[in-house]
Structure 1
């Protein structure tokens, strides 16, 4: 990629001070003409680079040129390094190379390990990082994948999908793609995917407008207004999962939460995940639904040894 080659050229010149176009062309396996085009690009971007002819000539930077002072401010350097560090989750070797070179150029080697991105839940043995790498490569190479999938009802099915995009939402990764089994676009929660296999079958990218956007995907989803009372023991989740504007603190240190949640089987499981720390105040039918579910659960433990 040209952008990586341009970074490499500047890095070499800062280190070696002078090099010929032929040497650069050999190093990058491109033509000398391409190298001179790169020099023009760098010059147009404000990099003080020049070429001289004759004995001892070559391509060089001005002697007093320092990249970190001439081009980017301290904050801009940090933002670039921080962004690249976050992108290392993609396991793209080019990202690691650029990160190492820029941290060296900016003299900030001590700042490249400021963050670690791990896609697996706490206490989980499931290798979601490995899954992410496989899916990323399949998307970039446009290869069809096959996997086993568990839906929200716990039903297992085999899927064959043209992967299009990975997205992170509400603490989980999702894969968007065209399901060849269903002949339609579908969204799959990565944690429910297993046995992911990349096939040797390639696909042609479909028109962008054929891929449903998140807003369109959620359009059919019914959302309802829910009021919850959460005890002080559940405070740690209140501000993790709800907007501050939706939360009211009560005199007894409990919290009343007024929010919108999707009406689905997930809603019951979500509310029950708070255990005894939550009470549904409204709507009434959700309150009754939780009550019925609790009675069903209690019934399983009665009169059993």
Structure 2
């Protein structure tokens, strides 16, 4: 809208003092002719803006003219300018709006406060970006953002990792409730008419709008849900030490380096006991990884501790036995 652009020009001029028409046009993504018309409109409205001719000329305001922004304390301004532009907003395609807002605030500050802003930016810098991003992830994220904003159902195709080597592809129609950025990673919070699910953006292969609108649950609170979900996940996202008994055969294989993955997980190992079994401590990144790996080892490894993992493996084993007996 033109009113927004005129205000942006005014704020930029107050922040930078003098700027060329070409730079203004690039900043606001319009033509130089449009900038000339906007400058004329500001002049007609009473803003003392004018052109300086020559090599170092440009658009500038009459010295001493400025609009005022009140209500922000020194500490509030300090916190505001330390934040900068989070990469998560850039990935959603809305960082330009925040940049414009910060420019407006900066332009409205008195001279001493603007010097504080410069000092802050030279002493603290926050890099919100990750080291690398998945190819196509930005396009998927923006499609999800549109679907979340417009409350439209999504066809989702995604990967589930059962172990570092075993992954399986699934798909479903979901209702996208919200997007959450945590520690540089994006997560989709959604519902499939039965349960609310959370998917990491990195696991999503395709997200396509079905065009069908859905009605959001008025009782759903994204912030409250995320807090509770994170609390529940803490036990699954911290490293876990597992005390096990290795079978005599497996222990013998280890002496020949037959299973390097298992060898790397061993923190400590006792001497063989009476039946030849060996007590050992293994390290895993998560509870789920430990369960998946140890289930795959069959009767070669018995879990002793933690009890929660031992009971979980017993439950999975019983479910498998029941499945095969019912279809035997």
Q: TM-score band (shorter)?
A: 0.3 to 0.5
TM-score (structure 1 length as normaliser): 0.47
TM-score (structure 2 length as normaliser): 0.44
